[in-house]
């Protein structure tokens, strides 16, 4: 048992190092915090839902293509096809239109996302909503201006409500219940 754990940790630690390099120099939207803190938190949330190392690695790399310009081929080469496919499951389609991207993600969650892919999406959205909640507490409603593309809280609420409604298989888990609670706190429902 311990030997297997050491192998898992070695591969996961390699992914942490890689993620740190991929996200180097990037900052979280509206923050001075290093961007890598978000994927690390996403992986930590995912670890509360699974011990599958591919899922945990994909959680670390979920923004690598979309936000850091990492090559899908590089992810596959370093961590395998399954990790790449899991990362792609939380990578929004290329579009300048916020609503088009979010509708595509909701459609994906409704119709074709696997439970493994949903773990990453749930973990990512929980990390995002934690940041929104903390920023809202610090900055008040001015915080919404950080979202240059979609700063309407009602539209943001629609999106998070749709995510929650398509994650019901996780009811009763700490991550799902926290996501629901933060959605209520952030959007006042």
Query: Which residue shows structure tokens 């690390």?
Result: 40
Judge whether 143 and 69 are in contact, CB under 8 Å: no
Count of structural domains within the chain: 1
Segments forming the whole domain that contains residue 176: 2-187
pLDDT for res 151? 72
d(CA 169, CA 129): 19
Q: What is the pLDDT of residues 25-77, one digit of tens each?
A: 887 776 778 899 999 999 999 999 999 999 999 999 999 998 888 999 999 99
CATH number at residue 10: 1.10.3210.10
Confidence of residue 1 (pLDDT cuts 50, 70, 90): very low
């Amino acid at each position: 048992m311990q030997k297997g754990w050491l192998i898992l940790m070695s591969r996961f630690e390699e992914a942490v190092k890689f993620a740190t390099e991929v996200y180097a120099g990037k900052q979280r939207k509206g923050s001075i915090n290093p961007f890598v803190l978000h994927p690390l938190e996403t992986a930590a949330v995912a670890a509360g839902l699974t011990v599958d190392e591919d899922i945990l690695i994909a959680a670390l790399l979920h923004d690598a293509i979309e936000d850091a310009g990492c090559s899908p081929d590089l992810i596959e080469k370093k961590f395998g096809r399954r990790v790449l496919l899991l990362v792609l499951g939380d990578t929004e389609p290329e579009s300048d239109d916020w609503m088009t991207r979010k509708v595509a993600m909701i459609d994906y969650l409704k119709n074709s996302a696997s439970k493994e892919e949903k773990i990453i999406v749930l973990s990512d959205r929980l990390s995002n909503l934690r940041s929104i909640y903390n920023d809202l507490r610090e900055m008040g409603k001015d915080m919404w201006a950080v979202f240059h593309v979609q700063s309407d809280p009602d539209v943001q609420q629609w999106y998070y409500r749709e995510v929650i409604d398509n994650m019901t298989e996780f009811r009763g888990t700490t991550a799902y219940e926290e996501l629901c609670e933060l959605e209520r706190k952030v959007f006042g429902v």
